[in-house]
Amino acid sequence: MVIFIMAFLIVTGRFLYIQASGVVEGVSLDEWATKVRTTSYTIDSERGKIYDKNGMTLAYDMPTFRMYAIVDERYSENLEEKQHVVDPVETAEKLAPLLNAEKDYILGRLNSGIESNLSQVEFGAIGKEISLQTKDDIQALKLPGIRFIQENIRYYPNGMFASHIIGFARETEMKTEEATFKEITGVTGIESEMNDLLKGIDGKISYQRDIYNKKLLDPSEVIQMPDNGDDVYLTIDQKIQTLVEDVMTQVEEKYNPERMTAIVMNPKTGEIVAMSNRPSYNPNNPANVLNWYNDAISTPFEPGSAVKMFTWAAAIESKVYNGDEGYMSGKYQISDRVSPIHDFNRKGWGTISFDEGFARSSNVAAAKLVWEKMGPDTFLEYLKAFDFDKPTGIDLPGEVQGQILYNWPLEKITTSFGQGSTATPIQIMKAATAIANDGKMLKPYIIDRIVDPDTNNVIENHEPEVVGEPISKETAEQVRELLVSAVQSEHAVGSRFNLDDYSVGGKTGTAQIPDPNGGYLTGHENYVFSFLGMAPSDDPQLMMYVSVKQPNLEFESGIEPGSAPVSFIFNNVMENALHYLSITPDKGETSTVNVYEIPNVEGKSVASITDSLSKAGVDYTVIGEGTKVVQLSAEVGMKILPNEKLLILTDNPTMPNIIGWSLRDVLKLGEMLSFDIEILGSGYVVTQSIEEGQKVDKGTYLGIELKTPKELQEMKSIDETSDKEAIENESDDVFE
């Protein structure tokens, strides 16, 4: 009895102590209960958008949904409306067609959750990244227990467009001392460079709830609103960038080069108007990327004869240049111990002037100017004044500077015509701004401004920055005249780069490619063919650099066949871009380019619109068989370039034939008709799930498969081989 009484008193005393103090083993019961009852959720901040200079959206967070199912019956206890999956078979049957999945797979997931006594189950890949339209369709079925969680994904509406500039962002797992969470993080390009500004700060909501996750009557709710990321406006112009992308794709299809790079710049400001590389990739699906590097800023190479404009500029500025002075072309050797150098045709053109030597792209003239006229040390000073010994500082990640190889006499000579020493395309463009801009060299940049999306206040505005003045205005003018002679004179090797409406000054380059086994690769295709040009030549408004590495030239002939793919890119882009920017032609009003401005189509007939488009030479596709125009794929007042496809949505829409369309055009169509699009691959459409002519409604599912030009070429080769084998087999059968 004594023991029982003592035990009773101890237990009772313990209860009284706990009740009075509210503490058990140093843990406050009130705090513990509050912690157990309190649940908290992150309110995702919206990652900042990326725009072009004119406000066209290039990257944004697209809301998608992850689906899950509650399979625990306890969630429906004492409730009239069931909160769990009541009939798994019916649920699977109704979900399967909307998710484009097998009924048995969905049913298997539901049953496994029920058998394992789980509270809820998810559905793997088919239950993720569900569009708003599909989510609404599923919710309309009112299936008990089917729930959704919103999850944003980073979306790039133009597909393979300025991919090495914009880069891409993806969901990554982040760990802190308090928790593990997921957030969208930039991996490459602007997405990586500006990640801290773009990502924003997540908010949080917390409240007290019961065991079934229902709020208490007094939930003590606390809400901390998210701080959305800032918006980044780039200097690129979507129209000109699109023009560059499309023209480069055409060259890729025809010439199948190893690599290509193109940069369009405003030489007055340093703004990058367009920049693209091949191979490229679709940032919406960056799997199997062939080239992560932005070659325009990250891949130094021996630039070839484009460097001669700086050699001549240095000679003129150092007061040793006489353009009328003659020299013997063909071969030049400074001593018996140093290998001779030759002009590209080996034999030269006899005795010619230095001015003519520039137009003919003479290596001997460049070597003489460096070795005999100004001296190698003076030339090195000018190379450094043009900043060839340092990166440009462009606001993109991954810039790698070239190297001035200047140790031995031969290296000093070969540097004069772009061999041995290396540079990146952006270094060459930066240096050339001094020639285009009357001696003032500008820093290239690609971020125009940063804007707070909540207030629309400009946080940071990029202004042009002069970073050097390596030559005088007079020297710049004289070099521009030489650049014009290299394109327009009777001796010009760059005659392919003449434009119809604008005078062009520029310099070609044919750079040798180092052989991994020593020396240089041989063969007429094993070069990097390039051109740097500016127009109009007397007061350049645009400057463009193009390089094409190892194109297939078996069907090209004539002088410098390697310039054919380069000139195709340069001529198409520059002619169209200058007209688009309303730059007055300096060869007279001979405009051969029609820039069509979108009119107001409200209440107009399809026939009247197509008639005006045909007269303007615009590429268009009519969507449907209706007689009235409902919508155009471009807004009123926008300018359409000849390479763009304009979509006309009628009041009776049907599915067009989209085989051969670019992803960008398919996405335009999808936006107009609110299609639920599933994309496989990248490049150009080869299959479509909706047949041509079939009536379509908003929200219709469209599956497409795309192939790159290289993949199409390989398919064509396989088909041709198969056909050849079939013919040979047939011949053998006949012979037997």
23 found inside a domain: yes
Q: Give the pLDDT of residue 80.
A: 74
- In this structure, the number of other CB atoms found within 10 A of the CB of residue 84 comes to 20
CATH code (residue 600): 3.30.10.20
Backbone angles phi, psi at 190, to 5 degrees: -60, -35
pLDDT(727) > 50: no
- 570 and 651 inside one domain: no
Residues 368, 478 within the same domain = yes
Spatial distance between the Cα atoms of 649 and 628, rounded to a whole number of angstroms:
9
Same domain, 490 and 469: yes
pLDDT of residue 734: 36
- Is residue 377 domain-shared with residue 456, that is, in the same domain? yes
Q: Report the run of H or E that residue 506 belongs to, with start and end.
A: strand 505-512
**Average of pLDDT values for 391-402?**
94
* pLDDT of 6 higher than 60: yes
Distance CA(318)–CA(312), nearest Å, equals 10
Predicted confidence (pLDDT) per residue in 444-462, tens digit: 999 999 999 988 999 999 9
The region of weakest confidence among 123-132, 246-255, 588-597, 643-652 is 588-597
Known catalytic residue at 318: no
Q: What is the pLDDT of residue 731?
A: 40
Determine the pLDDT at residue 713.
67
* Same domain membership, residue 139 and residue 26: no
Strands 259-266 and 169-175 come out as unpaired
* Burial tier of 38 (Cβ tally within 10 Å: 0-12, 13-18, 19+): middle
Q: Which range marks the domain in which residue 18 is found?
A: 2-38
User: Do residues 523 and 667 share a domain?
Assistant: no
Residue 723 lies in a domain: no
The string of pLDDT tens digits covering residues 506-530 is 999 998 888 888 888 888 889 999 9
3-state helix, strand, coil in the chain (%, to 5): 35, 25, 40
Lookup result for tokens 């509650």: 70
Q: How far apart are CA 32 and CA 281, in angstroms?
A: 52
Determine the residue type at 281: Y
Task: Say whether both 154 and 257 belong to one domain.
Answer: no
Alpha-carbon distance 316 to 312, whole Å? 6
Q: To 5 degrees, how large is the angle CA 186–CA 190–CA 193? A: 70
Please identify which of the residues 76, 280, 305, 662 carries the catalytic annotation: 305
120 lies in a domain?
yes
63 lies in the same domain as 33? no
Residue 439 has pLDDT above 90, yes or no: yes
pLDDT tens string 653-702: 889 998 988 888 888 888 888 887 877 777 788 899 888 888 887 778 88
- Can you read off the two tokens belonging to residue 470? 């390596």
Half-sphere exposure in the Cβ direction for 488 (13 Å, CA): 18
Q: Is residue 553 part of a domain?
A: yes
**527-552: average pLDDT:** 94
**Given this model, what pLDDT does residue 32 score?**
74
Q: Are 181 and 298 in contact (CB under 8 A)?
A: no
Helix (H, G, I), strand (E, B) or coil at 203: strand
Segment 101-160, tens digit of pLDDT: 899 999 999 999 888 888 899 998 899 888 888 898 899 999 999 999 888 888 898 888
- How many CA atoms are closer than 13 Å to the CA of 284, on its beta-carbon side? 23
State the CATH number of the domain containing residue 412: 3.40.710.10
Using the predicted structure, report yes or no on whether residue 24 has a pLDDT greater than 80: no
Burial (0-12, 13-18, 19+ Cβ within 10 Å), 405: middle
pLDDT tens by residue, 242-286: 999 999 999 998 999 999 999 999 999 999 999 999 999 889 888
Percentage of residues in the chain having pLDDT higher than 70: 92
Whether residues 53 and 26 share a domain: the answer is no
Span 300-316, average pLDDT: 95
Residue 286 lies in a domain: no
CB-based contact 165:271 (threshold 8 Å) = no
d(CA 129, CA 392): 40
Distance CA 8, CA 225 (A): 53
Look at 41 and 614; give whichever has higher pLDDT.
614
Instruction: Give residue-wise pLDDT tens across range 39-54.
Output: 777 777 889 999 999 9
Q: Does residue 639 surpass a pLDDT of 80?
A: no
Q: What is the pLDDT of residue 732?
A: 44
Instruction: Answer yes or no: is 71 within a domain.
Output: yes
Q: E-assigned strands of 323-370? A: 326-328, 331-332, 341-342, 351-353
Question: Is the residue at 727 inside a domain?
Answer: no
Task: Report the pLDDT averaged over residues 394-421.
Answer: 93
- 10 Å CB burial of residue 144 (0-12, 13-18, 19+) is middle
The answer to which of 214-218, 224-228, 310-314 has the lowest mean pLDDT is 214-218
C-alpha span between 612 and 624 (Å, rounded): 19
Measured distance CA(431)–CA(439) in Å, rounded: 10
CA torsion sign for 573, 579, 583, 585 is: positive
List, in order, residues 6 or more apart from 93 with CB less than 8 Å away: 103
**Cβ–Cβ < 8 Å for 568, 584:** no
Asked if the model's pLDDT at residue 495 lies above 70, the reply is yes
Element (H, E) at 250: helix 238-255
- Per-residue model confidence as pLDDT tens digits over 78-87: 777 888 898 9
Residues of the chain with pLDDT > 90, as a percent, come to 49
Q: Give CA–CA dist 471/435, Å, rounded.
A: 8
Q: Which of 12-26, 323-337, 401-415, 492-506 has the lowest mean pLDDT?
A: 12-26
Amino acid code (one letter) for 199: K
Beta-bridged to residue 342, according to DSSP, are 331
pLDDT at 345 over 90: no
Assign 613 to helix, strand or coil: helix
Using alpha carbons, list the distances in angstroms from residue 529 to 92, 305, 347, 732.
Answer: 59, 10, 22, 46
Contact predicate 460/473, CB 8 Å:
no
Evaluate whether residue 612 is within a structural domain: yes
| Per-residue pLDDT at 150 | 85
664 shares a domain with 551: no
Q: Which of 200, 218, 234 is the last residue of a domain?
A: 234
Report the alpha-carbon distance of residue 732 to residue 559 in Å, rounded: 45
Which CATH number does the domain housing residue 97 bear?
3.90.1310.10
The domain total for the chain is: 4
pTM tops 0.85: no
Residues 435 and 484 in one domain: yes
C-alpha separations of 30 from 12, 22, 40 in Å? 21, 7, 18
* Per-residue pLDDT at 710: 67
- 606 vs 357, higher pLDDT: 357
* pLDDT number for residue 316: 97
Do 81 and 154 reside in the same domain of the chain? yes
CA–CA distances in Å: residue 301 to residues 311, 419, 610? 18, 9, 48
Q: How far is CA 644 from the centre of its chain?
A: 18
pLDDT at 651: 86
What pLDDT was estimated at residue 588? Answer: 64
Does the pLDDT value for residue 77 go beyond 90?
no
**pLDDT over 80 (residue 292):** yes
* Six-digit token string for 244: 């560059």
pLDDT greater than 90 at residue 570: yes
C-beta of residue 269 within 8 angstroms of C-beta of residue 464: yes
pLDDT given for residue 493 in this prediction? 86
Q: What is the average pLDDT score of the chain? A: 86
Reported as a single tens digit per residue, the pLDDT across 455-483 is: 899 999 999 999 999 999 999 999 999 99
